Structure 1
Amino acid sequence: MSYETLEIAREAGVATIWMNRPDVHNAFNAQLIADLTTACIELDADDAVRAVVLAGRGKSFSAGADLNWMKAAGEASEAENFADAMKLAGMLRTLAEMKKPTIARVHGAALGGGMGLASACDICIAGDKAVFATSEVKFGIIPSAISPYVIRAIGERQAYRYFQTAERINATRAATLGLAHEAVATEELDAKVSEVVEALLQGGPKSQAAAKDLIRAVANRPVSDAVVEDTARRIASLRVTPEAKEGLAAFLDKRPAVWIAQG
């Protein structure tokens, strides 16, 4: 498919979604939200895609909401605002729950919804000039739709600070907070993303999807009998799959697993 606000590049099992509104720093509007939702669904269903990288054309990753879109929202009814907010929340959830591994390649500004996108991806690699913020309170609103993913990334305690102060967070601080997995020199950003992608391509695609689902099932839950039984059932069910049998056989035969050879 072709998209009005996106470019999608595919190479060797990796799909890169380039947000392509550089004149407004890849700010969100209704079209970008719709395009990202559809692209995530399309790529998640494509067996040829092993990993997805989210990136931005121009000077920024994403500067959050388009000001014209925000102005229109301020003049709309509460019901219309709810409908728009549900589309944004739905897009973020679609990205966050993709079966494929996802990496945010962040350079420049990642503000508001842009910080939400970075948090919704499984992995975030930031260039050293990247800057993050939950800037919504400066506009009299809150980082509501992005909150599940940002809080997951930086924790509740840090969210109390940054949701209220809207302070800018540089790349080094983002890495300290856990928002970015790594902060690297901007000229090394693509090399680091490629390095992480290469590591991802070594894993079995079905086991990676199961690993993501496992985290969602176990995180922030006490170690109860139900959790212990659930984790045991998950590994038992995977051990008998063709992918697991192939992975073990490849290790014993000292050869690449079929999913690596295909890549």
Structure 2
Amino acid sequence: MTHTPLLIDRAPLPGGSVETWTLNDPASRNALSEAMVDALLAACERAAADAGLRGVVLRGAGGHFCAGGSLGGFAKTIGQPLAAGEADPLVPLNRRFGTLLQALCALPQWLIVAVEGAAMGGGFGLVCCADQVLAHSGAQFATPEVTLGIVPAQIAPFVVRRLGQAVARRCLLTGERWDVATAQRAGLVDEVVAGDMEAAVQTAIARHAAAAPQAVAATKRLLQAQTDTPLPALLDAAAMAFAQALRGPEALQGLAAFAARKAPPWSAKL
């Protein structure tokens, strides 16, 4: 029987759907194998072109979120130098994970990450791509790469974007483990869930579903561009996005609903 590294479940929302993407390798605490990275990239590519998809929830199976990168396939390469002139196959494999992190950040839909158990290394990087992070009160977070003689290569820019330089240096250069309270103080976690995670996820979905889909997509594009676009060009793009939104159907529906004290057609009840 073929193992499915990523489970995808689709449920209806007003004006579209929401998908839950579940990392599915409980035996490894959902370590990021090549197959899992490929499945996530394929899901991101499909979602980016899916006008009916309003949001994504990313979580892990078996009581853990993600234990980080899977080094099982690289066991024979550890400590082994390359022959002269040999191209290193580890480089494109590692870079592909960076491509995944970029794709998650660039999703036009809102992305909720629900963390239970461990979120380590590459799993920590996945968390940094979220628009909202829910974490169970027993969750644990760390970037332990440097304590293992490894570089947190692809996740580092995303950790800096999420946490800022000072906090990113602290966690990336020490590999210290954070409980959920520390992660919340650092800005990694938005909401701590002491009870039922599923109920918390549904509440978060309803909260995000109050926002118009195209307005969300345009806002996320602006947020994504902020890090690498000069401010004048960014403000020009923002003005264009504002004008396009105001002239579009969502603003017409949303402002009319506000004036009538009704919910807009895309809104889900809490």
Tell me whether the two structures share a fold, i.e. TM-score over 0.5: yes
| C-alpha spacing 1:226/1:87, structure 2 compared with 1 (3 Å) | closer
Q: Which residue identity lines up with residue 211 of structure 2 in the other structure? A: G
| C-alpha spacing 1:140/1:121, structure 2 compared with 1 (3 Å) | same
Corresponding residue for 2:170?
A: 161
Cα distance, 1:136 vs. partner?
0.7
1:79-228 equivalences under 5 Å are: 79-185=88-194, 187-218=195-226, 225-228=232-235
Q: Is the 8 A contact 2:7 2:21 kept in 1?
A: yes
Q: Tell me the secondary structure at the aligned position of residue 259 of structure 1.
A: coil
1:92-123 CA distance string (max 9 Å, x none): 11111100000110010000000001111221
Aligned equivalents of 2:147 and 2:232: distance in 1? 45
Corresponding residue for 1:4?
A: 4
Q: Is the 8 A contact 1:204 1:259 kept in 2?
A: yes
| C-alpha spacing 1:3/1:198, structure 2 compared with 1 (3 Å) | farther
Q: Name the TM-score, length of structure 2 as normaliser.
A: 0.88
Q: How many matched pairs?
A: 258
Q: Tell me the secondary structure at the aligned position of residue 251 of structure 2.
A: helix
Cα distance, 1:18 vs. partner?
0.7
Cα distance, 1:23 vs. partner?
0.4
Q: Which residue identity lines up with residue 124 of structure 1 in the other structure? A: V
Q: Tell me the secondary structure at the aligned position of residue 53 of structure 2.
A: coil
Aligned equivalents of 1:138 and 1:202: distance in 2? 43
Corresponding residue for 1:258?
A: 265
Aligned equivalents of 1:91 and 1:221: distance in 2? 21
Of 54, 57, 66, the match for 1:53: 57
Q: Which residue identity lines up with residue 61 of structure 2 in the other structure? A: R
Cα distance, 1:243 vs. partner?
1.5
Corresponding residue for 1:17?
A: 21
Corresponding residue for 1:40?
A: 44
Aligned equivalents of 1:255 and 1:3: distance in 2? 46
1:157-216 CA distance string (max 9 Å, x none): 01111111100011111111100111121x332222211110111111000011111222
The answer as to 2:73 corresponding to 1:66 is no
Cα distance, 1:54 vs. partner?
0.4
Higher normalized helix content (fraction of residues): 1
Q: Which residue identity lines up with residue 95 of structure 2 in the other structure? A: M
Range with bigger deviation, 188-197 or 84-93: 188-197
Q: Is the 8 A contact 1:3 1:35 kept in 2?
A: no
5+ residue gaps in structure 2? none
Q: Tell me the secondary structure at the aligned position of residue 51 of structure 1.
A: strand
Range with bigger deviation, 50-59 or 224-233: 224-233
Q: Is the 8 A contact 2:222 2:234 kept in 1?
A: no
Kindly, what percent of the aligned residue pairs are identical?
Answer: 33
